[in-house]
Each structure stands twice: as structure tokens, then as C-alpha cells.
Amino acid sequence: MSDERASYLASATGPEPVDRERLDLIREILAQEVTWAEPPPEVADRLLDAVVSHRGAGEPLTAAPSRHWGWAAAVAGIAAAVVVVAGLLGVFSSPGERVIEIAGTDLEPSATGEVAIRETDAGWWLRLDLDDLPAAAEGSYYEGWVWNDEGDGVSIGTFHMRGGTDSVVLWSGVDPADYPAIWVTLETEDGDPAASDRIVMWGRPEDG
């Protein structure tokens, strides 16, 4: 063993304890489907602005690596990743969002949720935050819809909830203001594009 290595081991006090709360936060954020969903087109620009702002405030974007990279540095890196991911999720929030409450029907009476809606250049972005909606069984899936008062519905996407997540991002090509009712139906993988009559969740704006 070299003198330098022996001296380092003799003087080392050991790694700092791992912050379990931060690690749990990492797992929670990375487990959310919305973390990996395609973001609205303007997110990249807003994230870049945030990075430039942090740099202008004197926060370095990079740092020279230590010769001895231990647990303390690893935990610090993980904590920085949490800040970046959490910040990216925060970019999704917007003062222009409308939030609509939806609730389970007789098919899923315990299910509750909210739908955040925001207009983008590509259409309307909808994030469904759902509680107590079970995963769709094999051979079936959930489908989101916006529905108008004339009885016309437009699909906004499909999902199955089998990953244990409670957040889903969907997209609409029509203005939800013109299609104010939001449905979630349970569909069978049979190739039929029409909405089934198994409506598991439903809601609309109080003023709609």
C-alpha cells in the first residue's frame, strides 16, 4: 500500500450517513409516469432560462471531481439530481392551468382525481392525478375522453396504471372548453375505437 493511500485511510472519518428521506424522494419522483412523459414544447426553453438564472446567481454548473470520490460526494450528486428532476416537474406548473375534479362512478366509487389542463402550441396538455383507480386488467386499458354537450367525444389517450403510478399525461387536439366533460372509460383490446359504456370516472368544470 502506498504511503499516500495509507495516510488517506488513517485520516478518513468515514462516509457521511445517507439521507434516507432524499433517497425516498428520488424513488418517488422517478416512479412517476409524468416524470418520463413528453413535456410541453415550451418546457425546454423555460428550463434553460432557469439554468441560466442559477448560473447568473453564482451557482456553478460543474465542479472539479475529487480524487477520492466517497459516499458523501455520491449523496450530494443524488441530491442535485433530485433538485433537477423536481425543478423540471415544477416547470410543468403554470398559472394558466385550469383544474377540474373528477370522481369515480358506480364502477369505481372510491376513485378520485384532478385534471390539470393547459394550452400549448401543440394542443392541450392534460395531467390526470388519480387516486384509488386500480390497474386495468390484462387485455384491457383505460382511455381518456373530452366530451361536448352534443354527445360528441374525442379521445385524449390511453393508459393502464399497471406501473403503480397515480399521474398520467394526455393530450387533446380540441379545446376542452368546447368539450367540457372529461371521461375515463375501461376499454377492451378488441380494436374498436368507439368509447365503451364502462365509464369509471367522470367530471366537468363547475361553470361548464
Domains delineated in the chain:
15-92 (no CATH), 98-203 (2.60.40.200)
Closest CA to 157 of 197, 205, 115, 121: 115
Please tell me the chain's helix, strand, coil percentages from 3-state DSSP, rounded to the nearest 5. 30, 30, 40
Q: Which residue matches cell numbers 399521474?
A: 167
* C-alpha cell, 9: 485511510
- What gap in Å lies between CA 159 and CA 167, rounded to an integer? 10
Digitized pLDDT (tens) for each residue of the chain, 208 residues in all: 556 655 555 554 544 555 566 666 666 666 665 555 555 555 555 555 655 555 555 555 444 444 444 444 444 454 444 444 444 444 444 557 899 999 999 999 999 999 999 999 999 999 999 999 999 999 999 999 999 999 999 999 999 998 777 789 999 999 999 999 999 999 999 988 999 999 999 999 986 5
